[in-house]
Structure 1
Amino acid sequence: MSVFARLVEQLADLLQPLFHASAAAAAIVLFTALVRLLVHPLSRAAARGQRARAELQPRIAELRKQHAKEPERLQKAVLELHAEEKVSPLSGCLPSLLQLPAFFLLYHLFSNTSIGGETNGLLTHELFAAPLGGRWADALSGGGIFGAAGLVYLALFALVAAVAAFNYRRTKLMMAKNPVTVTAGQGEQVPGLGAVNKVMPFMSFFTLVTVAVVPLAAALYVVTSTTWSAVERAALYR
């Protein structure tokens, strides 16, 4: 069995007296919180970077006016400005990228009946009545939407929808205060940017699709991580 699987099992053993049959599910939530706690310093740095980039917007607007007909010179000037102020345009991507390995490990762990030649015992664990290795389709075929397993997914969907609605409102407010106006060539707006700006606030709701199609264990990771992100961003970007 992999080191990662042993880690989840050991956490489940520690939590078993408190959570009983749902100890493995609690272990996944705890593991996710530990991952996010490790990434938190990068999230704080990303928040500082975003504030710094916002402060540079007036100067970038001036550069756009100066080099409206020279897109290559504009790009170079913007990069030089970021380097001069020691602001990375990509700093906000690091926290999300560093979380991907943990998500894929969980997905792999609960999508395989055997690991390292041994039977994957973690698939026998449940969150209340829903198997951690199962999907929403399995819950629907087993007992329907209001079956024991179906109710677990309804609770997860309700939580994800609440977090997505909170993120939607925050994103709309932030975009209203700091509208994105990237131009190209003769000062015209980049084609398609307006459509992207309209869709962006709804991105959080796509998490509902993820929760519906991945194994429940991976869904727990996604739900815990997105809830953490909502609270963390509300605190860091207030």
Structure 2
Amino acid sequence: MPSFLEAPVAGAYHLISSLVTAIEPLAGAYAAVAAIVLCTLVVRLLLLPLSVRAHRGMRARAALMPQLKAITDRHRDNPERLQREVAKLQAESGTTLFAGFLPMLAQLPFFWLMYTLFSRAMVAGESNQLISGSLLGAPLGLHWPVFAATPAFAALAVLLAVVAWFSARLALRQLDESATPWSRRLARWLPFGTVLTAAFVPLAAGLYLLTTTTWTVVERAVLQR
């Protein structure tokens, strides 16, 4: 790992370790689990203004879809003109086609930290104490067992699938009549990618995915009212 990345990893390690120590009298053996959940909730709370802005951008983009479709049909054979007209429409409306991806992109550094912290035996020049934490008997640094599923991974997979189902329903509800069959299939199945992702990351990172996707579903449901 490049040396300039060691500083944020070490800082995150000491921060989460201090949090684990602080809540251990209350959480006991699940202090590390509680710390991951709390840190994830804090990150999502800090990103809430960005999420609200992204949701407004998505609604504005949905309102522009008829105009976008008309522009696409009109300039289908002239890609350069099409690109200019789409950019002009976005500039005039003050929105962007990528507004909905902002919260997800902003979370990537935190997800990377979770993956790194629970994938290394040594952090900040000392033995990594975080990977000694466990959930239902499975160490937080453990990857999904290939042949012997544990209760922790089974429960994580089921919960991620349930959250993905609700997320897919919300995504389908946001699509308008002009949505293509491909867009509908993508909205229906893309949320289940978290279950696949959890199979390749440490249990701690899977726990982060469960917490953040649950927050996203609740957030979308509230903002859509």
Tell me the TM-score normalised to structure 1 length.
0.84
The one-letter amino acid paired with 1:155 is A
> SS of the counterpart of 2:204?
helix
* Partner of residue 178, structure 2: 179
The one-letter amino acid paired with 2:157 is F
* Partner of residue 202, structure 1: 189
1:22 aligns with 2:2: no
The one-letter amino acid paired with 2:171 is T
How large is the Cα RMSD of the aligned pairs?
Answer: 1.9
1:57 aligns with 2:65: yes
Deviation at 1:72, TM superposition (A): 2.0
Deviation at 1:68, TM superposition (A): 4.2
The one-letter amino acid paired with 1:23 is A
* Partner of residue 3, structure 1: 11
Tell me whether 57-66 or 157-166 shows the greater mean CA deviation: 57-66
Q: Deviations over 1:130-187 (max 9, x none)?
A: 11111221xx66xx43xxxx11222211211111111222223333x34336xxxxxx
Structure 1: gaps of 5 or more residues: 182-193
Structure 2: gaps of 5 or more residues: 1-8
Aligned partners of 2:222, 2:42: CA distance in 1, in Å? Answer: 18
Aligned partners of 1:196, 1:62: CA distance in 2, in Å? Answer: 18
* Partner of residue 224, structure 1: 211
Partner residue of 2:106 out of 98, 104, 107: 98
Identity rate, percent = 42
Aligned partners of 1:65, 1:130: CA distance in 2, in Å? Answer: 55
1:44 aligns with 2:52: yes
Deviation at 1:196, TM superposition (A): 5.3
* Partner of residue 6, structure 2: none
Q: From the superposition, tell whether residues 61 and 199 of structure 1 become closer, same or farther in structure 2 (CA, over 3 Å).
A: closer
Tell me whether 84-93 or 65-74 shows the greater mean CA deviation: 65-74
1:67 aligns with 2:66: no
Q: Deviations over 1:18-60 (max 9, x none)?
A: 2101101100000001111111111100111111111222322
Aligned partners of 2:92, 2:111: CA distance in 1, in Å? Answer: 36
Aligned partners of 2:89, 2:186: CA distance in 1, in Å? Answer: 29
The one-letter amino acid paired with 2:19 is L
Aligned partners of 2:127, 2:77: CA distance in 1, in Å? Answer: 64
Tell me the TM-score normalised to structure 2 length.
0.88
The one-letter amino acid paired with 2:212 is S
Partner residue of 2:201 out of 214, 220, 226: 214
The one-letter amino acid paired with 2:200 is V
